Amino acid sequence: MAQIIENSSGKGDGKRKAKKHSTAIDMTPMVDLMCLLITFFMLTTAFSKPKVMEIVLPEKEPDTSKAIAPPVDKSRAVTVILGDNDIVYYYEGLAKADSLPSLIKTDFSKDGIRKFLLKRNKPLFDQILEYKEKIKKGELVLPKDSVSSELKKLRNADKVGPIVLIKASENIKYKNFVDIIDEMAITNIARYAVVDLNPLELKMLEAAPK
């Protein structure tokens, strides 16, 4: 379909002129092909690599009778229990058979569990925030790798923040689990662990507000 625009003038005077071919090439097929290829690449491309959240679970003791829960300071202990229907319960301190603490009901919203954890973890949270602010402003210049290791140091040095024990009840969804781990990351909790519910807490769950 290459177009040739003929020069029709100057026919009558008998001179033989060299035919002028126009250089215009029909690019339609080329455009078609390119369109196809672009569509193909656009559809098969995965732009953002998947992100991952890292968790480390405590090593399992093969013999359950030998497993001893590490001692947790009573004043720092916070237990978060994930209940059905996106409900989150928590209580401070440790549960004893003779004086069961009552569960406080909350949820995954901004003013839910996050508010409570932030309040408890304020010293460390502020420290980390200040540190990040400094880097942002350029007061502290560090290579990217050492930033995370510095943050780790800050976390390890934390002596007052809560120790959060995360316990999941029977019928929760995977989403709830990821959400609570995420809350730990958001509120910069230095120490947390995923553990199983004990019989006392099962009792407390029954009495908890629905």
Which chain residues interact with other proteins by CB under 8 A?
Answer: 3, 24, 27-28, 30-31, 34-35, 37-38, 41-42, 44-60, 82, 114, 118, 122, 125-126, 129, 168, 170-179, 181-182, 185-187
CA distance 5 to 65: 94
- Least distance between other proteins and beta carbon 97 (Å): 27
- Least distance between other proteins and beta carbon 111 (Å): 10
Cβ closest to other proteins, residue 96 vs residue 132: 132
- Least distance between other proteins and beta carbon 122 (Å): 7
- How, if at all, do strands 104-106 and 77-82 pair? unpaired
- Least distance between other proteins and beta carbon 54 (Å): 6
CB atoms within 10 A of CB 161: 22
Q: Is 103 exposed, middle or buried (0-12, 13-18, 19+ CB in 10 A)?
A: buried
- Least distance between other proteins and beta carbon 124 (Å): 11
Cβ closest to other proteins, residue 129 vs residue 157: 129
Q: With beta carbons less than 8 A apart as the criterion, state whether 161 and 190 touch.
A: yes
Cβ closest to other proteins, residue 110 vs residue 137: 110
Cβ closest to other proteins, residue 98 vs residue 111: 111
Cβ closest to other proteins, residue 128 vs residue 204: 128
Q: With beta carbons less than 8 A apart as the criterion, state whether 93 and 75 touch.
A: yes
Q: Is 95 exposed, middle or buried (0-12, 13-18, 19+ CB in 10 A)?
A: middle
- State the Cα angle at 164 between 158 and 165, rounded to 5°: 145
CA distance 184 to 164: 9
